[in-house]
């Protein structure tokens, strides 16, 4: 800035307290005096309180052994705590969960999986319900087919052997064997029920 070298030199001279050399510098010098007069050097009204606070803070820091925890260039910045902020919280603040499309898709899948998983546990899904019902129907049909025969046996034995009638009711094969000619085959197939079958035979004898 060669054009401003002259005026800047005059300004520098005035700042150093030298006398102005040109009328222009003289006008500028008067303005500088006005500036200094408008904002005079006065002692602070709170000088005593401020000095007390300054000295107290300085002595506290000196007693603590750490007169400064920050460099002079960082003195105007916020105080950094010794332990720092929790890293986990900082990550959460900086990274929103639903920021990416992949995160949204994954979240949707998790919701769907949890929904269907809950329905499956409750047995409310269509496929699960039909299988169970068909099985139940078969069992009910078996019982309904045998119920009259059991009742018939019970009616026959009810007077003499109430306890045996109960045993027969629990053992389906024994009921069949009591009336059917296939008793021998059933007895071979089910050795465990031989004793019961014998008892049934006894029932027949009682009759």
- Cβ proximity of 142 and 133 under 8 Å: no
CB-nearer residue toward another protein: 15 or 119 = 15
Task: Please say which residue, 43 or 126, places its beta carbon nearer to another protein.
Answer: 43
Opening angle at CA 146, ends 143 and 151, nearest 5: 110
Q: How far apart are CA 58 and CA 140, in angstroms?
A: 93
Binding mask 125-164 for another protein (x = CB under 8 A): ----------------------------------------
Nearer to another protein, 57 or 105 (CB): 57
Q: CA-to-CA distance for 170 and 150, rounded, in angstroms? A: 10
In the complex, minimum distance from the CB of residue 81 to another protein, in angstroms, rounded to a whole number: 14
* Long-range contacts of 197-202, Cβ-Cβ distance < 8 Å, separation of 24 or more: 197/173, 199/164, 199/167, 199/174, 200/168, 200/174
What is the number of other CB atoms lying within 10 angstroms of the CB of residue 172?
A: 17
Residues between 17 and 36 with contacts to another protein, criterion CB under 8 A: 24, 27-28, 30-32, 34-36
Of 44-52, 104-112, 136-144, 165-173, the window that binds another protein (rule: CB under 8 A) is 44-52
- Among 22, 50, 130, 180, the residue binding another protein under the rule CB under 8 A is 50
Query: In the block, which residue shows the tokens 């769907």?
Result: 112
Judging by beta carbons within 10 Å of its beta carbon (0-12, 13-18, 19+), is residue 162 exposed, middle or buried? exposed
Q: How far apart (Å, rounded) are the C-alpha atoms in residues 147 and 139?
A: 12
Q: By C-beta, is 59 or 155 nearer to another protein?
A: 59
Q: Which string of x and - marks every residue 53-92 that binds another protein (by CB under 8 A)?
A: xxx-xxxxxxx--xxxxxxx-xxx----------------
Among 9, 21, 22, 51, which residue interacts with another protein (rule: CB under 8 A)?
Answer: 51
Does the protein bind another protein through residue 45 (CB under 8 A)? yes
Closest distance between another protein and the C-beta of residue 18, in Å? 15
Q: Quick count: other Cβ atoms within 10 Å of Cβ 195?
A: 12
Site of interaction with another protein (CB under 8 A): 1, 4, 7-8, 11, 15, 24, 27-28, 30-32, 34-47, 49-51, 53-55, 57-63, 66-72, 74-76
């Amino acid at each position: 800035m060669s054009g401003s070298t002259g005026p800047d030199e005059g300004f520098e001279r005035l700042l150093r307290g030298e006398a102005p050399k040109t009328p222009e510098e003289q006008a500028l010098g008067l303005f500088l005096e006005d500036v200094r007069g408008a904002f005079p050097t006065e002692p602070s009204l709170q000088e005593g309180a401020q000095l007390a606070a300054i000295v107290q803070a300085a002595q506290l820091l000196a007693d603590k052994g750490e007169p400064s925890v920050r460099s002079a260039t960082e003195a105007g910045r916020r105080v950094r705590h010794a332990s720092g902020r929790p890293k986990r919280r900082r990550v959460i603040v900086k990274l929103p969960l639903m920021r990416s499309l992949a995160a949204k898709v994954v979240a949707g899948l998790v919701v769907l999986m949890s929904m269907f998983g809950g329905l499956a546990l409750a047995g409310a899904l269509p496929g699960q319900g039909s299988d169970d019902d068909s099985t139940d129907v078969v069992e009910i049909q078996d019982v309904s087919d045998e119920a009259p025969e059991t009742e018939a046996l019970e009616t026959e034995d009810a007077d003499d052997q109430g306890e045996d009638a109960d045993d027969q009711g629990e053992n389906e094969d024994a009921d069949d064997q009591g009336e059917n000619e296939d008793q021998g085959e059933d007895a071979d197939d089910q050795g465990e029920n031989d004793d019961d079958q014998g008892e049934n035979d006894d029932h027949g004898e009682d009759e």
